[in-house]
Amino acid sequence: MLSRISEVRTLYGKYSEILPDELNDKVENDLKNGQDEMEKIFKEDIRFIDNMIKKSNGADRINLQDFKSSDLFLIRRGFLDRNEQLIGIQKTKFDIAHLFMCKSTLSYFLV
């Protein structure tokens, strides 16, 4: 299964060539709809990842709640120390941390 997050991009492509003074009230509505859609897609993706973790019996090694509730945990898992290399479960945690950071960044831009 692929994420539907790329679908949100098409909502904003039509504005990439428009100057700010040409924008109208529709932009605000489109941004709100895009934010809502992005939230739905993110929840779908997290459910998918959570199901994959459970199916692989990895729930004792990866707890998605840790990524949601702790910025420190998120940063620690999303950035490497100097000579650190990602092996096995650490690579998965790294990728999940980046998913949560991307979601947070997109949410910031869509507000």
Domain ranges of the chain: 62-111
pLDDT tier, 20 (very low <50, low <70, confident <90, very high otherwise): low
Read off the pLDDT of residues 70-82 as tens digits, 9 standing for 90 and up: 889 988 899 988 8
Q: CB under 8 Å to 40, separation ≥6 — which residues? A: none
Tell me what the mean pLDDT of segment 85-89 comes to.
Answer: 86
- DSSP reduced 3-state for 12: helix
**Maximal CA-CA distance, the chain:** 54
* Residue 17, pLDDT above cutoff 80: no
CA–CA separation, 24 vs 53, rounded Å? 44
pLDDT tier, 18 (very low <50, low <70, confident <90, very high otherwise): low
> pTM for the whole thing?
0.71
* Residue 19, pLDDT above cutoff 60: no
- DSSP reduced 3-state for 60: coil
Residue type, 23: L
